[in-house]
């Protein structure tokens, strides 16, 4: 019981979210530099839905693409942290509307991250469409 309570406090702590966000930014910055240096690997990322790129290209490009997998894991961690923090807010307030702006910010970020994760999994790009000059 003590371990689960400590894990819950860690999961809903704002510092946990900030640290995960900082790691996400560092990983993205490192990956952007790497992608610039290796267009042979990362130049096709925009042509695929993210999950499809991870499955078809990312696996073959390991260890170069490891930062992308870490970025995806950190995105899931941020989404989970926001969701748990929002649940914790509702649970601790128990119907009180005091501090509602706080939870609206959480819900806004949660909506953004959830939308990103869903788009990355389902994808909105069509692979293999070519547009010729002047079309």
pLDDT, tens only, 94-132: 666 676 777 777 778 778 877 777 776 666 655 566 777
CB 120 within 8 A of CB 72: yes
Distant-in-sequence, close-in-space partners of 79: CB < 8 Å, separation ≥ 6: 110, 113, 114, 117
- Classify residue 60 by its DSSP letter: T
Cα–Cα distance, 62 to 69 (Å, whole number):
10
| pTM of the full structure | 0.72
Residue 129 pLDDT = 66
Q: Is the pLDDT of residue 70 over 90?
A: yes
pLDDT, tens only, 27-62: 999 998 998 899 888 887 877 777 788 888 889 999
Tokens of 34: 């790497």
């Amino acid at each position: 019981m003590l371990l689960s309570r400590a894990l819950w406090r860690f999961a809903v702590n704002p510092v946990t979210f900030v640290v995960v966000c900082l790691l996400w930014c560092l990983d993205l910055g490192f990956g952007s530099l790497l992608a610039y240096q290796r267009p042979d690997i990362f130049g096709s990322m925009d042509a695929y839905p993210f999950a499809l790129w991870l499955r078809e290209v990312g696996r073959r490009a390991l260890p170069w693409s490891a930062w992308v997998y870490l970025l995806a894991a950190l995105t899931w961690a941020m989404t989970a942290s926001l969701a748990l923090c929002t649940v914790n807010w509702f649970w601790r307030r128990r119907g009180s509307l005091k501090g509602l702006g706080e939870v609206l910010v959480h819900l806004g970020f949660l909506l953004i991250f959830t939308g990103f994760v869903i788009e990355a999994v389902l994808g909105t790009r069509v692979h293999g469409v070519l547009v010729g000059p002047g079309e």
